[in-house]
Amino acid sequence: MPARRRRSSTMLSVNSVGEPNSGALCLSSGVDRNRCTQVALCISLLLGLLLPPPGAMGSNLNCHKTCICASNIVSCSKMNLTAVPAGLPWYAAVLDLSYNGISGLRAEWTIIKLPKLHSLLLSHNSLSFLSTQAFVHIARLRYLDLSSNALRQLDELIFEPLAQLEVLLLYNNHISQIDRSAFVGLSSLQKLYLSQNQVSRFPLELVKERTRLERLSLLDVSSNRLKALPIRELQALPAWIKNGLYFHNNPLDCNCELYSLLAHWNIRQLNSAMDFKDEHTCVLPGPQKAMVRIIDLNGEYMNCSTFAESDEEAYLDQTLILGCDTRHRDMVKTWVTPSNTVVPTAGNQSTVVLPDGSLRISPIRPGDSGLYTCFAVGQSVNETLYVLLRVHNFTLDGAGETLNTGYTTLVGCLASVVLVLVYLYLTPCRCFCCLGHGGRAKAHREDSVRSSALSASPGPDELGARAGLARHVAFIDPKELQGQNGKVGLVNEQEGEGQKSRRKKSDAESISSVFSDTPIVV
């Protein structure tokens, strides 16, 4: 009968270092040694992950003389320190080193990782140097205060390890140079304070479409040395970014574009414009360099056109998208049409709300004109925006055809006027102006016109001269020339001498009848 194996118990002992004693794992010979070794290795790895690193079990920091410790808060403020004290506890969540004389933050300022540290305060020191490796051991930091120091520049990728940082305070330094990649990696940053420095270039890469920090909602560049702003790029920003974009108290050059930008922000009641309304100033051109309020540039200073919100315009059969540009992010938006109908968020209707909260109308119809209302609801605030839409009663292509037709008509009218002027003043000479008949024909024409127009009873000499002409035009009374059946008879030039006196008489009477309606050639 085979002997039964006894159940053996495995006892685990831990040495003084905190590691499992592999020699005491197996006390029974019935247990496979290979399997026992594997179990021991697994336990050693597990304990290595759970226990804090060597040197972090205890703290060498004197919480009674150097700093004040309150649970996970370590306050070393106003202790006349020139360097970060050693032996910081690994469980520290808040570290306050403000109001000291620390001149630099080097890579080895802490030799251990501080995985629970979320707030580091270093304001009011003498910091002039930041190592590129200074933040490697505090990767979970969410609040960093470096204000009121002596920093002069921000190098490339200086804050890259701080992927969870939300607030960064850099105001009241001497920063004049900021590398364009200095803030790369701050994917969680929400507030950045750069005021009261010497910055002369607006950091557009922080807010523009493709390079901006997606969660950044406040950027303070006030009280610097900015002389110009990228106006067009700032106008294109969403309202929730403009609402927290502070640029007051800078020596900006006055111009009407700057006035229009700030006037629009005032109409929208943006915090960045309303909170410091009197500190939005600019420098007038000229030797005086006078400082005036930007909002007053539409008056006597530069006579800028008063800004007014423009309405949306559309043409028939177009596709139009109306934006609900709210001052805050992540708001629930509802649209109401001019007929007081709530627009659905999905479906095949011509009017529908898109996922980003904007309203799409396709195709545009004449009945789509009117005032549209966007109701935006957030966690702490609500907003209401109005958009007035005007629809032109023709398509965009039709508008072009109308313009072309009007232009063609105008050109035709001008051409007609030119032709009339040419006809009146540039008519070619008649046959009697030709060469060979010059002198006598011209004199006769002038005498004939003068006598016809000015003389009611010509003299006998003039009548005799006219009788000697071969052919001329005379106006006579139709009553004297009416023949049979009321027809006008023609007087032939080959009639006898008996008819000659009658022709002269008719000629004389024709001269006195300048305005007769019936011409006759004799």
Render 158-218 in DSSP notation, one character per residue: TTTT-TT--EEE--SS---EE-TTTTTT-TT--EEE--SS---S--GGGTSTTTS-TT--E
**Is residue 111 a part of any domain in this protein?**
yes
pLDDT of residue 398: 55
**Is the domain of 116 the same as that of 208?**
yes
| Residue carrying structure tokens 């929400």 | 190
3-state secondary structure of 165: coil
**Is residue 507 a part of any domain in this protein?**
no
**Is residue 58 a part of any domain in this protein?**
no
**Is the domain of 218 the same as that of 339?**
no
Distance CA 308, CA 50 (A): 64
**Is residue 102 a part of any domain in this protein?**
yes
3-state secondary structure of 40: helix
3-state secondary structure of 288: coil
**Is the domain of 143 the same as that of 162?**
yes
**Is the domain of 201 the same as that of 293?**
yes
**Is the domain of 289 the same as that of 330?**
no
- Among 330, 356, 391, the domain boundary falls at 391
pLDDT of residue 95: 96
**Positions of the chain with pLDDT under 50:** 1-31, 49-50, 54-58, 399-400, 436, 439, 441-443, 447-457, 462-473, 475-476, 478-522
**Is residue 162 a part of any domain in this protein?**
yes
Alpha helices of 160-284 — where are they, by DSSP H? 231-235, 239-242, 256-267, 271-274
**Is residue 46 a part of any domain in this protein?**
no
Structural domain that includes position 197:
68-301
Q: Kindly report the number of other CB atoms within 10 A of residue 396's CB atom.
A: 13
pLDDT, tens only, 101-128: 999 999 889 888 999 999 999 999 999 9
**Is the domain of 77 the same as that of 180?**
yes
Task: Supply the CATH number for residue 189's domain.
Answer: 3.80.10.10
pLDDT, tens only, 143-188: 999 999 999 999 999 999 999 999 999 999 999 999 999 999 999 9
pLDDT of residue 495: 46
**Is the domain of 276 the same as that of 387?**
no
**Is residue 122 a part of any domain in this protein?**
yes
pLDDT of residue 186: 95
**Is the domain of 316 the same as that of 355?**
yes
Listed residue (357, 268, 354, 367) closest to 314, CA to CA:
367
Phi-psi region of 96 (alpha: psi -120 to 50; beta: other; left: phi over 0): beta
Q: Nearest 5°: CA angle at 149, between 147 and 154?
A: 80
pLDDT of residue 463: 44
CA distances from 392 to 99, 265, 312, 317 (A): 66, 29, 11, 10
How many domains are contained in the chain?
2
pLDDT of residue 522: 40
Take residue 13 and report the two structure tokens written for it: 């002992």
**Is the domain of 136 the same as that of 215?**
yes
pTM of structure: 0.64
pLDDT of residue 431: 52
pLDDT of residue 393: 77
Task: Tell me the pairing of strands 291-293 and 281-283.
Answer: antiparallel
Q: Nearest 5°: CA angle at 89, between 87 and 91?
A: 160
Q: Please, is 368 exposed, middle or buried when counting C-beta atoms within 10 Å of its C-beta (0-12, 13-18, 19+)?
A: buried
**Is residue 144 a part of any domain in this protein?**
yes
- Among 253, 271, 301, the domain boundary falls at 301
**Is the domain of 273 the same as that of 347?**
no
**Is the domain of 178 the same as that of 271?**
yes
Listed residue (197, 195, 188) closest to 217, CA to CA:
188
- Among 301, 320, 348, the domain boundary falls at 301
3-state secondary structure of 480: helix
**Is the domain of 275 the same as that of 327?**
no
Task: Supply the CATH number for residue 378's domain.
Answer: 2.60.40.10
Residue 168: in which H helix or E strand, if any?
Answer: strand 167-169
pLDDT of residue 16: 40
